[in-house]
A and B are shown apart, each in its own frame.
Chain A
């Protein structure tokens, strides 16, 4: 897949994994596992990028005597998911065009 496209897709996937509930690193990896294999390094980069773009916020909370970072989606992050859905519809119609069957000679 085109890297630019993949990057955008990964961003939205991570945002989707926290859209209903705040989550933490390992939980996000587990949630995505059925759909795609996501390495820790990749996840770190995505989270950092989303945080910089203010699509999510990070808070540190104590868990079981150690610190854990929780990620919370922002309104801007939700907007990104909506935009993705719109883009996807557009992509779908383009896909229809690309894969259409020959209708026959006129």
Chain B
């Protein structure tokens, strides 16, 4: 076995330990072999003087704490996932685009429709409220007019209608506030949901 074979075997056997540690060990053995060669040994002799590579590997693995090995394994898995979308996955995504595009478009359309419905309801609610208050204010003018002509019945009708409209309008202001809050909350939740669906759960 020559030096290169020995070091390759060593690297292969120790692939479970952290990269930094591995490099340091490989350099150490490389130096040991070179120093023996420098002293006059042949490459083969120098390598065999170091000992059996399998024995060395199993000795090092036995010395390395199990937690280090597990940690390294977990890190490697993470890195694999971080590389995220592999080329194969990317090709599949691109090739199946006629399939997923309509679906995505539909979901997108539905979401926009939902927003439109919710917010137009809110706007309608405001419109009704404003209408009621304006009607209430107008009925005061009506009452004044009726009083001017001495029409008491008309004034009474105007007063009743006006108070009814104003009362309902003021009540609906509270309704508007609650409705708006609800719509904002719903929108925010929906946006967060869409973002999560698009970005994935990377932050967790």
Contacts and interface: CB of A to CB of B under 8 A. Distances in A.
Interface of A: 24-27, 29, 39-41, 44-45, 64, 66-69
Nearest to A29: B32
B31 A25 contact: yes
Q: Is the interface of B mostly helix, strand, loop or mixed?
A: helix
A25 B38 contact: no
20 contacts: A24-B31, A24-B35, A25-B35, A26-B35, A26-B39, A27-B35, A39-B51, A40-B32, A41-B51, A41-B56, A41-B63, A44-B25, A44-B28, A45-B63, A66-B34, A67-B27, A67-B31, A68-B31, A69-B28, A69-B31
B34 A40 contact: no
B59 interface: yes
B60 A41 contact: yes
Nearest to B35: A26
Nearest to A27: B35
Contacts of B34: 66
Given A39-B51, A64-B38, A67-B27, A25 B32 contact: yes
B67 to A, nearest CB: 16
Interface string B39-69: 1000000000011000010011001000000
